[in-house]
Structure 1
Amino acid sequence: MKNENLKSVWNDQANSISIDDSHAFLRKAKEVERKQKIGVIVMVTTVTILIIYAIAYFPTQWNWFATGLCLMIGSLAIRVIIELISKQKKLSKAVSLNAKSYVKYLQGYYRGRKTIHYVITPLCFGIYVFGLIQLFPYFKQAFSAGFYNYLVISGIVSLAVIAIIIIVQIRKEMLFLKGIQSA
């Protein structure tokens, strides 16, 4: 979201949203936008690493290792595409609507994000975890017992941390939705 564009739209509008309300709204919107951007960057980085790993270690015959890698890459890629499309739609509306209409649009936008958060994200996360699980038997054969145990433990801890981050981000977006519904 272009903060400058939103400011100019708000400043050009004569409506019931006060300047103080618009500044608070812009700060919250910018914070949510920043967190979404960080999430996309992390997912794109992970997809890139997985693709590099797949290129380097993709088996000559199709097996569960290849399936696991493809599931992991595909689930993250789908999630990134959804985020980028969602962000682009929101940006295009930011400059074309007046302040009241944009707030109404954002209310609908964040209600629509509930589907992404409560259906698509858990599905993508589950597919990612399933893909990762498919790699572990191959890791067990390829690595020492100590390193394999490290991979299992760090994988579980990483997935738990990622799940917590996802849950916190979803809660923040839903709180933002609740805040703009009263606007």
Structure 2
Amino acid sequence: MENDKLNQLWKSQKDNSNTNTPENIIKLAQKQRNGQFLSITILSITVIILIAYTIYCSVYEWNNFTIGLLLMIASLVFRIALETISLYRKEQQLIALDSKAFQNYLVKHFKFRKIINYGVTPICFIIYTYGFTILLPYFKQEFSEGFYTYILISGFLSILIIAIIVAFSIRRENKFYEELK
């Protein structure tokens, strides 16, 4: 009899330690969504700048300089497309599913995101870096030694900063995924 009362009491108490409530899942999903929007925005601005530079510098010439710029642009556009598809697919599921089914969907979604983060993103990053290194001989030829050194340092420093930002966003996504488990 006492055991039944104790079980009833436990069932009636709200579990405050559970992070998988619908409200918490929605908050975490919105936080991750905002991060994806920020990533898409930054990548899009970079693509616009690279396209403008490509049009300005190599409208009439097709050479390694153009190929380097196109590799950089293509890797960013591909990454933007993946982020956008991932973002809107998740939003469509949020509307279509109940909270428990959406939570199950999020687990599958983050397994897909791991493939993107650990497979596709490094490939895009390598292609982007390779495209930048293709540009370096042209920069060295066209610019003064001081400005070339500035481009060299700032370019690789920018790539390093982007790598750090990507690593932190992947870490944040993994933390979110772990909270869903």
Whether TM exceeds 0.5 here: the answer is yes
Work out the percentage of aligned pairs sharing the same amino acid. 38
Where structure 2 has 5 or more consecutive residues not aligned to the other structure, the ranges are 1-14
Mapping 1:31-110, distance limit 5 Å: 31-58=31-58, 60-110=60-110
Q: Displacement of 1:141 after TM fit? A: 1.0
Stretches of structure 1 that go unaligned for 5 or more consecutive residues are 1-15
Task: After superposition, give the CA deviation of every residue in 1:56-96 in whole Å (9 maximum; x if it has no partner).
Answer: 00163321101100100000000001111111111110111
What is the alpha-carbon distance in structure 2 between the residues aligned to residue 37 and residue 91 of structure 1?
A: 13
Amino acid corresponding to residue 85 of structure 1 in structure 2: I
The Cα shift of 1:33 comes to 1.1
Q: CA deviation at 1:19?
A: 9.8
Aligned residues: 166
CA deviation vs aligned residue, 1:22-75 (integer Å, no higher than 9, x gap): 333222222111111100000000001100000000163321101100100000
Classify 1:94/1:118 alpha carbon distance in 2 versus 1 (closer, same or farther; 3 Å). same
Name the TM-score, length of structure 1 as normaliser.
Answer: 0.86
Specify the structure having the higher radius of gyration (Cα): 2
- Aligned CA RMSD, in angstroms, stands at 1.9
TM-score by length of 2: 0.87
The residue that corresponds to 2:177 in the other structure is: 177
Output the amino acid matched with 2:84: L
Distance 1:111 1:20, change over 3 A: closer
Partner residue, 1:164: 164
What is the SS of the residue equivalent to 2:97? coil
User: Secondary structure of 1:95's partner?
Assistant: helix
Match of residue 148 from structure 2: 148
